[in-house]
Amino acid sequence: MKKKILVAFISLLAVVLVACTEADTVSENLSKEADSFKVERRVVFFNGITDKYLLTVEGRCSLGNTDSDLRMTVTCKIGEDEYVKHTLGLSDNVSFFSEQLESKSVDPFHYKVIFRPETIIPDIDLQTSGDEE
């Protein structure tokens, strides 16, 4: 049974790896590095009609990957365990672009999966009978 599961897993992994190009893997790994606040970025929000910049954010920033079509958030790490979050509404004349400010070495042959324990294990507040006031 274990051998069948292992063979199935290896087969699935092979299909996934064959379906990805080197560019796909590098792009995905760069995105994961940026979402882990390891890539310097400049994110500019601008008005497409007036050509004026509305907001520029620079630093180790992650873009809001699950934002709606009408909203974009940029979360930046500004110190050890310190973060700021900027949100801008998008419209037919407000858009943005993100620029990577420095090169980042990522392995095109190594696909990254990053697990964060805090997202897997829930944050539980424990109250015992001795804690009551």
pLDDT band at 82 (very low <50, low <70, confident <90, very high): very high
Residue 122: predicted pLDDT: 66
- Which residue range(s) make up the domain with 62? 2-120
Residue bearing the bigger pLDDT, 100 or 112: 100
How confident is the prediction for the chain on average, in pLDDT? 77
Q: Is residue 129 part of a domain?
A: no
User: Exposure of 39 by Cβ count < 10 A (0-12 exposed, 13-18 middle, 19+ buried)?
Assistant: buried
Q: How far apart are CA 55 and CA 41, in angstroms?
A: 14
Domain count, the chain: 1
Residue 109: predicted pLDDT: 67
Question: pTM here?
Answer: 0.60
Residue 127: predicted pLDDT: 72
